[in-house]
């Protein structure tokens, strides 16, 4: 029986955590009927249809840049996932939902519509950098500054933190998906070949790097030649991928510098002494740690579980709410967190 649930509705994946374990992890995508907009597939099956649907079907990503972009689809997706994970074993559990920074000024609200329809109560939100800081084991009781950089699929969340409160923050719309788009544009320009986002992600994961290397490696991939329209094999090198994505790396670096510039000097001093905490799936990009260390001149600590650090930290906050005595975990409706993208 679920007594508490942590929900991380990310741009790429939705994760449900309960009973000290991850109970569900599925892609945040729904394939709908193009005419009626009724859901047809959820999760992995829906993700498999991306780039392969006929005119009668359309894949929808209801979460964009970490924020709900299609409320109705997001609600149906979450209800389906909650039902799949817990069935009828939910008895009014406490719910906490991770959210990016920048949506923290909303007023106190009642239980979110989505969590309530799934049987939850007291639905609250916590900023992802705060949650990730808890997963790193950062002690919020001490007057010590720290910085968390969470590079996900849709956003990069950057925050300086002191005693459980956010001192400064920035939410960049430059993250893992933008790295993929940069690779797509590079291949199109240099090879006259079109590739999809899944192929681009494979290239990034296999040979993507934020640092040029003397010895290159290559990756063979398939795409559609723009001239002939036929399937075509091509090879791309690690240094070519570096050229494609390095601007995105600098965007993240400049975001970190901007937040540091706005942060109190004593907190910055703590951060430079203790290092910066890096998490999110894109933190695993080869050479990114060294790239940031060389530029900022401080140590970078990468999460042991970068894909789940926010949800694991939020679980700590849910069980020990006094940890966040210096900040607000706001009660809000997910409907009011909807933004226009």
Fold classified for 2-130+310-337: Nucleotidyltransferase; domain 5 (3.30.420)
What percentage of the chain has pLDDT greater than the value 70?
A: 87
User: What is d(CA 316, CA 313) in angstroms, rounded to the nearest whole number?
Assistant: 5
> Is there a contact between 170 and 255 (Cβ–Cβ < 8 Å)?
yes
Distance between CA atoms of 40 and 15, rounded to whole angstroms? 21
Per-residue pLDDT at 165: 86
Give yes or no for residue 117 having a pLDDT over 60. Answer: yes
pLDDT tens per residue, range 258-276: 999 999 999 999 999 999 9
48-79 confidence digits (pLDDT tens): 888 788 889 999 999 888 777 888 888 889 88
Pick from 83-92, 137-146, 198-207: least confident = 83-92
Residue range 160-179: mean pLDDT, rounded? 91
Q: Is the CB of residue 103 less than 8 Å from the CB of residue 34?
A: no
SS3 281: helix
What class has domain 143-302?
Answer: alpha beta
> ∠252-207-238 over CA atoms, to 5°?
90
Average pLDDT over every residue of 114-129: 72
Q: What is the pLDDT of residue 110?
A: 34
Q: What is the pLDDT of residues 273-289, one digit of tens each?
A: 999 999 999 999 999 99
- Cβ of 327: how many Cβ atoms within 10 Å? 18
Domain spans of the chain? 2-130+310-337, 143-302
Summarised one tens digit per residue, pLDDT across range 77-89 is: 988 998 888 876 6
pLDDT of residue 88: 67
Q: How many angstroms separate the Cα of 14 from the Cα of each of 99, 159, 211, 336, 338?
A: 12, 22, 31, 19, 17
| pLDDT beyond 70 at 21 | yes
- Residues shown for the chain: 341
What is the secondary structure of 136-171 as a DSSP string?
TT--TTS--EEEEEEE-SS-EEEEEEETTEEEEEEE
**Arithmetic mean of pLDDT over the chain:** 87
Is pLDDT above 70 for 295?
A: yes
Question: Which of the two residues, 321 and 328, has the higher pLDDT score?
Answer: 321
d(CA 205, CA 183): 12
Predicted pLDDT at 101? 83
Question: Is residue 193 over pLDDT 80?
Answer: yes
Q: What is the pTM of this model?
A: 0.88
235 sits in which H/E element: strand 231-237
Residue 339's Cα: distance from chain center in Å? 17
């Amino acid at each position: 029986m679920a007594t508490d649930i942590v929900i991380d509705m990310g741009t790429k994946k939705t994760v449900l955590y309960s009973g000290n374990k991850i109970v569900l992890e599925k892609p945040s995508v729904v394939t709908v009927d193009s005419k009626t907009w009724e859901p047809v597939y959820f999760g992995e099956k829906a993700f498999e249809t991306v780039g392969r649907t006929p005119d009668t079907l359309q894949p929808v990503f209801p979460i964009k840049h970490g924020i709900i972009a299609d409320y109705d689809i997001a609600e149906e997706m979450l209800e389906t996932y909650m039902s799949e994970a817990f069935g009828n074993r939910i008895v009014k559990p406490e719910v906490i939902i991770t959210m990016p920074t920048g949506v923290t000024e909303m007023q106190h609200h009642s239980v979110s519509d989505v969590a309530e329809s799934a049987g939850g109560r007291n639905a609250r939100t916590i900023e992802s950098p705060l949650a990730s800081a808890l997963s790193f084991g950062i002690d919020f009781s001490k007057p010590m500054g720290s910085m968390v950089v969470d590079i996900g699929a849709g956003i990069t969340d950057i925050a300086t933190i002191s005693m459980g409160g956010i001192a400064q923050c920035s939410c960049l719309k430059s993250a893992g998906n933008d790295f993929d788009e940069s690779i797509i544009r590079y291949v199109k320009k240099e090879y006259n070949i079109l590739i999809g986002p899944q192929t681009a992600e494979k290239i990034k994961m296999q040979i993507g790097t934020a640092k040029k290397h003397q010895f290159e490696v290559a990756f063979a991939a398939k795409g559609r030649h723009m001239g002939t329209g036929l399937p075509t094999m091509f090879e791309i090198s690690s240094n070519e991928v570096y050229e494609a994505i390095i601007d995105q790396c600098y965007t993240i670096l400049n975001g970190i510098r901007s937040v540091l510039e706005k942060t109190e000097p004593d907190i910055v001093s703590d951060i430079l002494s203790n290092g910066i905490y890096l998490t999110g799936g894109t933190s695993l990009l080869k050479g990114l740690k060294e790239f940031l260390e060389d530029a900022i001149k401080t140590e970078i600590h990468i999460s042991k579980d970068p894909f789940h650090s926010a949800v694991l930290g939020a679980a700590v906050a849910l069980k020990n709410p006094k940890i966040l005595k210096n900040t607000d975990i706001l009660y809000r409706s997910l409907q009011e967190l909807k933004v226009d993208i």
